[in-house]
Chain A
Amino acid sequence: MRRLILACAALALLVSACKEQTAAPDAVGTKRLVVGFSQIGAESAWRTAETESIRSEAAARGVDLKFSDAQQKQENQIRALRTFISQKVDAIILAPVVETGWEPVLREAKRASIPVVLVDRGVDVEDDSLYTTLIASDFVEEGRMAGRWLAERLGGAGRIVELQGTPGSAPAIDRKRGFEEAIAEFPGMTIVRSQSGDFTRAKGKEVMEAFLKAERQKIDAVYAHNDDMALGAIQAIEEAGLKPGTDVILVSIDGVRAAFEAMVEGKLNCTVECNPLLGPAAFDAVMRALAGETLPKWIKVEDRVFDQSVAAEVIGTRQY
């Protein structure tokens, strides 16, 4: 019995000694990087995918990630940033909920020499040295891609109705502008009606219902600023006795899973991806900033166009 205890103790010592040996160089040599990430919340599948991307990238690079969920409130984000600063993190990743009101806390971060990388939305500050870079999609380009795809599909002529996002929001303004730019080259392409569907399915359906009545069903295509509104419009088109995807062509933006499912069913024709998987780009930016490099103020995320022809093969690989 005694021997057994001794043996166990010896084994334990040995193991702990080995452990120390392997741990030692890491602790002395390269210190584990600490990065604070202030996320807006988890209000959509898109945002959940973004959070997951940043988390998994941090784990893959062995970065110690301090995560804070602001539940849609700026004051929570500002508090989180102050906590990160007092904890002396190496860098901060911020997905700002609104554009304004960031100057004081960003100044504090700058004074503490902590680089701040913004993801998916910008901030409105006088002095753009307050943040390192913004990693985000180009909403105008997304609108252009949707416009170009639709022009090709319709052969350069058609009566289009537009379902806008929430009035005044950046994606709604930019996606509208980009689309208009793209179809301006085709005089036959006209937007006959354009209303806000507030980025929701219910409103998208309600507005589409009214459009179908007002245009007496003579609508060739729908351009929706996000997938959810297009999914609502699909139901309105079906209930009006038309076939979505055939009688009425639909193109939307975001590339969420439900949109791919609708494309596989042949009801949605095309979605322009708005990529939420910003983790790799965000940590690349953090590393470059810590190495003392100067980064461009806006690193654009590459977005891609997916239509029905590829929907079935890529749906399995979609992460959000």
Chain B
Amino acid sequence: MRDSARAAVRAIGRAAPAAAAVGLLLAFNAAFTPGFFDLAVADGRLAGSLVDVVNRGAVVALLALGMALVIATGGVDLSVGAVMAIAGATAATLVAQHGASPWAAIAGALAVGAAAGAFNGALVAGAGVQPIVATLVLMVAGRGAAQLLTGGQIVTFNDPVLNFIDGGFVAGVPMPVLIAAGALALGLALTRGTALGLFVEATGDNERAARLAGVRVRAVKAAAYVLCGVAASVAGLLAASDIRAADANNAGLYLELDAILAAVLGGTALRGGRFSLVGAVLGALFIQGLTTTLYLHDVSPNATLAVKAGAVLAVCLAVSERVRAWVGRK
């Protein structure tokens, strides 16, 4: 018990730089963005820029949760953006073209996500393919599959249940926020409440030692990819529900990179062996907070990417232990 408490403290420590970055961003907005913290309750719904950040950040937060686990096993999943597209396309075509019930569509999308994760897991853990190469297969082919499903068109739907996934509110709180929070709670329970988190870190830290110690490393890796695939399919459902359509060409495009960035900003080591789910969510909130801040300050779109890159670089340097030690020495 004391060990797990210590592990929890360590995990919080890893998330500290991301938390500080989010704090700085909030401080900046408190000073320079009038009305950023305004919260209004209209029609029993929370509204405001802060709500937008959390609401919009939910997609990358979900991806980052799965990504943190995969990265902690010493892998990476480049296919999450494509899996989002397939999941959205599956749900939209089931409802709009095959007249399926929305619940069947949701189940279908989640099943597709799990299958995609299992495919990645089989290639990495079963066949021993390098994770970057293995998941690159689905990153490229997956978007193609999604385009085949939708026939290259944007498939629109209007179904109360599917619309509710992203557009609904429970007790005034937007659904994406609740879904992301639920996923975080579930992830924490799975990894810190059971030994799974320890196994994941052991696998990523030293696969051979973990195996000799009795950890079933292949199963652990496969499980991480499946969880990541399911998280990506939930994100895909959110993205499709957001615009009430499946846009196979654009849904989740390049979001795998945002997810990796969020996980790493949140204190997950790219070489594997340690992760922080809270940090991953904070990382995602930082990225979205930055985007929303740039919109609100009307920074020219041509300069947006440069500003973002600068902010991310600053956070990465702050996370780097060597830089911190160097600054501390002075």
Q: Given A164-B301, A195-B301, A201-B154, A214–B295 Cβ distance below 8 Å?
A: yes
Complex contacts, A194 vs chain B, CB 8 Å: 298, 300-301
Closest Cβ–Cβ distance, residue B230 to chain A (whole Å): 21
A103 at the interface (CB under 8 A from B): no
Give Cα A236–Cα B48 distance, bound, in whole angstroms.
Answer: 13
Return chain B residues, CB-CB under 8 Å to A258.
154, 156
Q: Is B205 an interface residue (CB 8 A)?
A: no
Q: A164-B301, A205-B242, A210-B296 are in contact. Are A42 and B152 (CB under 8 A)?
A: yes
Q: Are A200 and B152 within 8 A (Cβ)?
A: no
A248 to B214, CA, bound (A): 64
In the complex, residue of chain B having the shortest beta-carbon distance to the beta carbon of A199: B250
Residues of B within 8 A of A17 (CB): none
Bound-state CA distance A235–B245 (Å) is: 12
Decide yes or no whether B304 CB sits under 8 A from chain A: yes
**Contact A209 B52, beta carbon cutoff 8 Å:** yes
| A89 interface residue per 8 A CB criterion | no
Distance (Å) between the CB of B247 and the closest chain A CB? 6
What's the minimum C-beta distance from B177 to chain A, rounded to whole angstroms?
Answer: 15
Q: Which residues of B contact A167 (CB under 8 A)?
A: 301-302, 304
Per-residue interface assignment for chain B, residues 145 to 159, with 1 indicating a CB less than 8 Å from any chain A CB and 0 otherwise: 001000011101000
Assess whether A210 is in contact with B49, with CB atoms less than 8 Å apart.
yes
Given known pairs A195-B301, A235-B244, the reply for A210 and B292 (CB within 8 Å) is yes
- Cβ of A44 and Cβ of B292 under 8 Å apart? no
Interface residue tally on A, bucketed by range? 20 to 34
- Could you tell me if A213 and B154 are in contact, using CB atoms closer than 8 angstroms? no
User: Is B239's CB under 8 angstroms from A202's CB?
Assistant: yes
**Cβ-defined contact, A241 with B42, below 8 A:** yes
Q: A residues within 8 A CB of B35?
A: 213, 216
Identity of the chain A residue whose Cβ is nearest the Cβ of B42 in the assembled complex: A241
Is B191 in contact with chain A by the CB < 8 A criterion?
no
Flag if B296 contacts A232 (CB, 8 Å).
Answer: no
The listed residue (B152, B154, B298, B302) touching A214 by CB distance below 8 A is B298
Q: Does A228 contact B (CB under 8 A)?
A: yes
- Inter-chain CA distance A9–B180, complex, in Å, is 77
Return chain B residues, CB-CB under 8 Å to A196.
301, 304
A239 within 8 Å of B (CB atoms): yes
| Chain B residue nearest to A213 in the complex (CB) | B49
Least CB distance, A71 to chain B, in whole angstroms? 9
Residue B107 CB within 8 A of the other chain? no
Nearest neighbor of A47 in chain B, beta-carbon distance: B152
Does A45 sit at the interface, judged by CB under 8 A?
Answer: yes
**Smallest CB–CB gap between B145 and chain A, Å?**
14
CA distance A194 to B303 in the complex (A): 13
Q: Contact partner of A44 among B167, B249, B295, CB < 8 A?
A: B249
**A43 lies within 8 A of chain B by Cβ:** yes
Nearest 8 Cβ contacts at the A-B interface? A210-B295, A196-B301, A201-B243, A200-B250, A167-B301, A42-B152, A214-B296, A213-B49
Known: A44-B249, A210-B292; 12 extra A-B contacts, CB below 8 A, are A168-B302, A193-B298, A194-B301, A196-B304, A201-B243, A201-B250, A202-B247, A205-B243, A213-B49, A228-B154, A228-B247, A258-B156
